Amino acid sequence: MDTEFFKDLARFTLLIKKRVSTPYTGARRSLRFGRGISPVGYREYRKGDDFKLIDWKVYGKTEKLYVREHEEERSLVVQILLDASASMGYSDKFAYASKIAVGLAYLATLENEKYAISFFSEDLKPGEPRRGRAYLFHEIEDLDRMVPNGETDIKKAAEQFATLIKSTSLVVLISDLLERTEEVEECIYRLSGHDLLVVQVLSPNEADLDFSGDIKFVDLETKKATITRVTQGQKAEYSRRLQKHEARIRAACKNAGADFFSFSTKKPIFEAFSEIMPRSESRRG
């Protein structure tokens, strides 16, 4: 994989919309209360509380023991779910999706955050959250060797992921999303407790059905073949159904508070990141 595009990504930082909740200390605001720099209020002292957290000025005024609560600063974990089913092997979809995955992992690395790249087809193959460029380049080597295979069960993968990931994270789902619309919607809602980013990757032929005449289509996952004549009417019907499918996915993402992007692999990779990166809270200098 050519990683030259990394140098163009260095101007961005990751922004999360939900407060993170992880066991790792860091620079992100947490859902949990404890030691930290952001005071959020007071509560009465309870047996077992650390005496160091008592606000003695408040005691002097009220003669009661109160503990000042703070938001803990927590580290962000970037969880990337990458579709590795056989359908992603069509054209250069998997290579393009892999660049998006490692680009986001690279941004996490720049901020010394943990990240994991997990793969799914029939089942989820979870990655282990780690830090560092050495781990990133190990992941790139694995991606370069990987051959997408198997059928997609996006609903099952989301359910398996939800049972494994207990803390609020930045979750990035990357797939062609060419499954039953209802299953994609269920996947989105299942992951909606996280700060969710959904990225659809399609080949130009899938986006526009750029075929004509007698064509033999082979489903890469089921290996079933269909011979048909592609007419202008069929192209129009395909476009209508694809737009309806995407509209429902966009609506589900909106309802779940998730961001949705759809890219053709003909779009330059940095242009794709430029659309995603308005999420960024600042640009690097």
**Residue 225's pLDDT band (boundaries 50, 70, 90)?**
confident
The token pair that represents 219 in the structure block? 């489903």
Is pLDDT larger for residue 259 or for residue 41?
259
Is pLDDT larger for residue 134 or for residue 32?
134
What is the tens place of the pLDDT at every residue in 184-194? 999 999 998 88
Fold of the domain spanning 6-13+75-279 = Rossmann fold (3.40.50)
What is the tens place of the pLDDT at every residue in 127-172? 999 988 899 999 999 999 999 999 999 999 999 998 888 777 889 9
Specify whether the CB–CB gap between 168 and 19 falls below 8 A.
yes
Give the sign of the dihedral formed by CA 194, CA 279, CA 40, CA 76. Answer: positive
Could you list the beta-strand ranges (E) of the chain.
25-34, 38-44, 66-74, 77-83, 114-120, 124-125, 170-175, 195-202, 213-218, 225-230, 259-264
CA angle 63, 69, 75 (to 5 degrees): 165
pLDDT of 7 reads 81
pLDDT of 232 reads 87
Q: What is the CA radius of gyration of the chain?
A: 23
The ranges assigned to domains in the chain are 6-13+75-279, 26-74
pLDDT of 280 reads 40
pLDDT of residue 21 exceeding 50, the answer is no
Q: What is this structure's pTM?
A: 0.75
Burial class (CB in 10 A: 0-12, 13-18, 19+), 101: buried
**Residue 266's pLDDT band (boundaries 50, 70, 90)?**
very high
